[in-house]
Structure 1
């Protein structure tokens, strides 16, 4: 039995464009148009799930998908940094940002650590490996990173070395306790303003 996971990152939103820690905002008009143009380009899945965030739900809807939200696939909780830009946080707390980027176990911002999100997503991925067929998951970029770190047995420090662009598909296929990675591909040509 082979399990196939396709992780799709959400369309653009104001927080993504501003390098702001996600604060629950919706996809922007260009992101929604790009997602609508990509509708139908994904293989039909047996199951569809999503991170429980507005931009993941809206991306799935624009792709023509009905999803079930999965709490284990929620984005990284950045605690008190939520809604602030990385530039603002780095100016106010440069040492904290340095620790956060260098130490996967660090969570002094009051949220969860990179290690914690990798473990949480890894548990979900391991359980899903026993599911035959294709699962499509519209998830936050950090969930894609965590899934790849777990699937390939990478150290937590690799988390920040993985770039996840908007509306990209990253595929994992698994069998017998082992995952293979098919690197992310754009879903469609982006709509320009």
Structure 2
């Protein structure tokens, strides 16, 4: 029996567009984009979401009923919460550089990238074998962490994965091993 896990990144709003370490609502454009993406979201027998307002509103815009799941919550950025990336870069450039190069670092007092990757991996590996198709609506950091885990990539690869709003990635698990599954191009459908 296999599991197909589709990870869907939440939509965009003012906090995302400002590169702010925070949760926030979708804006009108984000809601429109989510509604437009609804037809490309695969059916799932289990649908979970991060507990953030952003993911809740994305699920609503997509017409999904998704249960909040703490394991797929965003990376805890501690004292940086509410600040923009530009503010942190200006005020704490060494700390930011350390955080983006050392997977063990958590200069903000929150969670390290390694801790997030372990949390995501434990959740993925804990999915029941008979889960079937699972859709997880979550944050970009969790999508990155899941890909790192699935591919058994070094945690340093985390920052090399770009995850735009509403991006999806499919992972399959067979015989205890995760694989990444790319979608066919529109010309192949």
**If the length of structure 2 is used for normalisation, what is the TM-score?**
0.94
What residue number does 2:172 align with?
A: 173
Q: String of CA shifts for 1:54-78, please: whole Å, max 9, x gaps.
A: 0001101111101111101100000
Alpha carbons of structure 1 residues 183 and 89: separation in structure 2 relative to 1, 3 Å = farther
8 Å CA contact 1:11, 1:59 repeated in 2: yes
What residue number does 1:121 align with?
A: 120
8 Å CA contact 1:100, 1:106 repeated in 2: yes
1:103-122 mapped onto 2 (5 Å cutoff): 103-122=102-121
Query: Aligned with 1:112: secondary structure?
Result: coil
| 1:90 aligns to 2:89 (yes or no) | yes
What residue number does 1:3 align with?
A: 3
Query: Aligned with 1:24: secondary structure?
Result: coil
Unaligned runs of 5+ in 1: 186-193
Query: Aligned with 1:150: secondary structure?
Result: helix
Unaligned runs of 5+ in 2: 185-189
What residue number does 2:187 align with?
A: none
Partners of 1:184 and 1:75 lie apart in 2 by: 25
Query: Aligned with 2:39: secondary structure?
Result: coil
What residue number does 1:163 align with?
A: 162
8 Å CA contact 2:46, 2:131 repeated in 1: no
Partners of 1:50 and 1:9 lie apart in 2 by: 10
RMSD over aligned Cα atoms: 1.5
Q: How many residues of Structure 1 are paired with residues of Structure 2 in the alignment?
A: 185
Q: String of CA shifts for 1:105-153, please: whole Å, max 9, x gaps.
A: 1012111000000000100000116233100110001010000000110
8 Å CA contact 2:148, 2:158 repeated in 1: yes
What residue number does 1:56 align with?
A: 55
Q: String of CA shifts for 1:29-70, please: whole Å, max 9, x gaps.
A: 101011112223322110100011000011011111011111
Partners of 2:28 and 2:35 lie apart in 1 by: 11
8 Å CA contact 1:9, 1:166 repeated in 2: yes
**If the length of structure 1 is used for normalisation, what is the TM-score?**
0.92
1:17-166 mapped onto 2 (5 Å cutoff): 17-21=17-21, 23-128=22-127, 130-166=129-165
8 Å CA contact 1:129, 1:175 repeated in 2: no
